[in-house]
Amino acid sequence: MKKTVFLVVISSFALSIAAHSFFLSEWANGRYMTGNGDGIAQMVIFKSFLYEQYKNGHLFYSYSFGLGGGIYSQLGYYFTTSFVFIASIGVVVIMQLLSLVGPADTLFWAQASVFISVIKLALIILITTFVFLHMTKNKLAAFTGAAIYGMSIIYFRHTVFWEFFSDTMLWLPLLVWGAEKIIREKRPGLFITACTITLFNNFYFAYINLLFIVIYVLFRWLIRFGQEESRWIQFRIFAISCLISFGISAVSFVPAVYGFLNNLRPAYDQPINLYDFTDNILFSSRTVVLPAIFLLFLFVVSFYKNKMFCLFASISGLLMLLHFSPLAASAFNGFSAPQNRFEYLLSFTIGGAVAAGLSQFKHIKRKEIVFSSLLVLLLYFVNIQDKEVDLSVVMNWRMLILLFVTIMIFIIVRINYEKTYLLLHGCILVTAILVANMYQQYVLSEGSEIQSVSKHYLTSNEYDGEEQRALLQKIKKDDGADPYTRIDWMNGVRNNTPLIQNFNGFSVYSSILNQNLLLFYWKDLEIDMGRESVSRYATMGDRANLYSLLYGKYYMTEKKDEDDVPYGFQKMAESQHYVVYKNNHILPFVRTTKTVFSEKDLNKEPVLAREHAMLEGIVLENPDEKVKPPQVSDLLKETKVKTKGASYKNDVLNVSAEKGGIDLIPDETIAAEGDYYVHFYLKSLAKDQFFNLQVNDYVTSRKSNQSIYKTGIYDLTIRVPKTEKISIRLPKGEYALKNVKLYQEDYQTLKKATLSTASTAKMNWERNKLSISLDNKNGDRYMVLPIPYEKGWEVTVNGQKQAIQKANYSFIGFNLEKGENDIQLVYYPPYFKETLIVTIISLAVGIWYSMRKKKLGF
């Protein structure tokens, strides 16, 4: 057994290295195995960010994540509890202690991606080999089947674009092995362990894996390997084991799921078809290409007498049908927009079927060889005649050659099995290696432009340049190392720039965000981000009031965009391509007030009135006492409206020119200083049109009505510096344009707030605990902080626990006492204390239950 384990380990790593040949050669040339989209916009950034957080003991919360957020709840979908990532941290720490590597920044994680993938794939093949060996009792067949699974194209697609996606391929075989242990031996220990790891590691793929296990167990109940397999006993053990697993994983699973449920994403409102057969899984699919050996085995009738082959072939047939169903893709994606992310399940069952077929290969009849070969050749011939087939995956017919070679060897080996059976295994493995490397080169690197992810690009001004970092250092020097200062700077459309360049910013890009903040941007304050998206927020729409309220001291931009600088910001530094401005009207981080406004009263008021309310006091959902909202006048009655290259009637704007719209010309008597706030409802009436909206020099993009990433928000407010004419421009098309309103902001309210507010608070923020000492001499009733409101925060004032209120639509507020106030704010992930108790108890129960079953002889 030791010899077998050693041989499988060596073989798995050798196979994994061979499967990564293309990306290893790319690494040697300074190009990396990570996507040029989410790969460098999220994956390497979050790994670098979380590495520093964990290394410094910041396990629960980060003020630097966007406007601030919980790590478990908002990054649990990514790497927060990923065992592969946690193991990587351990290795990197050791390597840094030995001075083998430098800082673990984004460049480091991009460079390390191929080596992490090599190890991960080797482990997938290793684990799956022993799972299949447990079922087939044939070492070589088990290893080859495991290789089919591990080296499937979806592994490389997932690893390159969304690295943590492929982690789940490690846990799926363990789940199946655990299920078999319950079915055959009534022993739940392995299943509890595998299920707990899956739930702890990633809640999203735990859902997909457990959905598959339900399908697997149902098929196993139909295809029983022995008469002693009692379904009722199995059901009882599965139910108890799942409950225990959920309990053990509760401390990780519950906060992550809470974060997912507390996210805000509009319901997918497009029709979802039952089936769509346009994808070609023989040649050109981007997620699964069926191995020729699997198809050859599929048509060997005698193989179906083998229970394992029948099981895996049957499930594969079902999953192939589901691959062609957008409705199934939606179901596997939590009944949201269809996403083909579950095909690794099909790759696993295909590997299982191949392993079972190889273990039975010597019993195949020659006439079955001929029948199967002819059918598969006919299938390929029919598909290759399809003019719509994209041959970019096979490139120069190389895959077709491999397919025919496989069929020939399939025939030859059966004629003289004893002498040539190794040839078939070798052909399958070599074919899988070649397909994997061709897919990496032609589909991923060249087809998806992964080759652009290089050291040169990752250290350039387009991503993370020295010129930008030098200016950021000047800001920190000017600021006196204030740890709470926020800088509005984003490199192009990279919302995670603050995480890359290590400063507190106003932007973030993540699939899961605090819904209170998203509502703050989308509805409460109608802050335009320059780019419509459900998974991002950015900037403050160049609105000076909001920067001051949220401790935004600095504004950095490219010199070509200097016209958009917010009011009251003064130039303080510049370089060849960039310029930095400093806010002259900054408000203190800690603000106290007696004046209270009601959200409900402000709902009917324009967003400018809401800004004024936050500057004058605090806005609460249900205050005991309140004052009337500030009043802001609509200037549209004093404004001329003219069309340009368009017609405007009955709230419909029909743009006939390449770029047209309307002009708003305010009365000349309106004061010159300050800004305009232009509000309107805008929606494209085209079925599918992405477009840019331009208001004077300000440009923002809007998603197509069919996009799964559109916000469904059409009420916009755009800040425009004072000017004689406000031009709203759109590309040719038809739009719903209504509720146009115009307001002026002279910033007197901001100036008054700046002059009248002086904070005497002393603060100390260590990890997840913020301590504030304040002498409330004015007898103010409330304190408000620019820290986002979310579940997990607890506050005590002078030792007494207080309720945290949602203040200013999305931030923390609470009651104060007269005189001295000793305030302690502590953050833990949602339900952390309760779930930690559940985890400990469930772990004890799980150990007892597994040992009890073992003592009973199961």
What radius of gyration, in Å, describes the C-alpha atoms of the chain?
A: 31
End-of-domain residue from the set 690, 716, 745: 745
Residue range 121-135: mean pLDDT, rounded: 96
End-of-domain residue from the set 330, 362, 394: 362
The pLDDT of residue 383 is above 80: no
Banded pLDDT at 672 (limits 50, 70, 90): low
Identify whether 219 is part of a domain. Answer: yes
Residue range 493-498: mean pLDDT, rounded: 93
- In the block, tokens 């073992």 appear at 854
Phi, psi of 667 (to 5 degrees): -60, 140
The pLDDT of residue 391 is above 60: no
Banded pLDDT at 480 (limits 50, 70, 90): confident
Residue range 415-428: mean pLDDT, rounded: 77
Residue 792, pLDDT score: 93
Residue range 509-535: mean pLDDT, rounded: 94
Q: Would strands 69-70 and 508-509 be described as parallel, antiparallel, or unpaired? A: unpaired
Banded pLDDT at 777 (limits 50, 70, 90): confident
Residue range 215-220: mean pLDDT, rounded: 95
Helix (H) or strand (E) holding 255: helix 250-261
Phi, psi of 94 (to 5 degrees): -65, -45
Residue 338: which domain range? 2-281+289-362
Residue 400, pLDDT score: 64
Beta bridge partners of 592: 783
DSSP 322-357: HHT-HHHHHHHTTSSS-----HHHHHHHHHHHHHHH
573: left (phi over 0), alpha (psi -120 to 50) or beta: beta
Number of domains present in the structure of the chain: 2
Token duo for residue 286:
């981007």
Residue 758, pLDDT score: 61
Alpha carbons 854 and 858: distance in angstroms, whole number? 5
Q: What is the rounded average pLDDT for all residues in the chain?
A: 91
Identify whether 96 is part of a domain. Answer: yes
3 state DSSP class of 827: strand
Identify whether 258 is part of a domain. Answer: yes
Residue range 66-87: mean pLDDT, rounded: 93
Alpha carbons 228 and 421: distance in angstroms, whole number? 35
The pLDDT of residue 40 is above 90: yes
Identify whether 523 is part of a domain. Answer: no
**Which range scores top for mean pLDDT: 262-271, 619-628, 849-858?**
619-628
Residue range 440-468: mean pLDDT, rounded: 91
Banded pLDDT at 385 (limits 50, 70, 90): low
The pLDDT of residue 389 is above 70: no
| pTM for the whole structure | 0.92
Residue range 542-558: mean pLDDT, rounded: 95
User: Which CATH number goes with the domain that contains 700?
Assistant: 2.60.120
Alpha carbons 615 and 548: distance in angstroms, whole number? 9
The amino acid at residue 732 is K
Residue range 1-29: mean pLDDT, rounded: 93
Residue 570, pLDDT score: 94
- Range in 190-204, 273-287, 332-346, 377-391 the model is least confident about: 377-391
For 113-138, give one letter per residue: b (16+ CB within 10 A) or e: bbbbbbebbbbbbbbbbbbbbebbeb
The tens digit of pLDDT for each residue in 705-720 reads 888 889 999 999 999 9
Identify whether 630 is part of a domain. Answer: no
* Beta strands, E only, 98-211: none
- Range in 210-214, 476-480, 700-704 the model is least confident about: 476-480
Token duo for residue 436:
């994997």
3 state DSSP class of 594: coil
The answer to whether residues 83 and 193 touch, using CB atoms and an 8 Å cutoff, is no
End-of-domain residue from the set 346, 362, 378: 362
Alpha carbons 436 and 423: distance in angstroms, whole number? 20
Selected residue with higher pLDDT from 573 and 403: 573
Banded pLDDT at 396 (limits 50, 70, 90): very low
Identify whether 215 is part of a domain. Answer: yes
The tens digit of pLDDT for each residue in 238-258 reads 999 999 999 999 999 999 999
| CB atoms near residue 104 (< 10 Å) | 20
Question: What is the length of the chain?
Answer: 858
Identify whether 579 is part of a domain. Answer: no
Identify whether 310 is part of a domain. Answer: yes
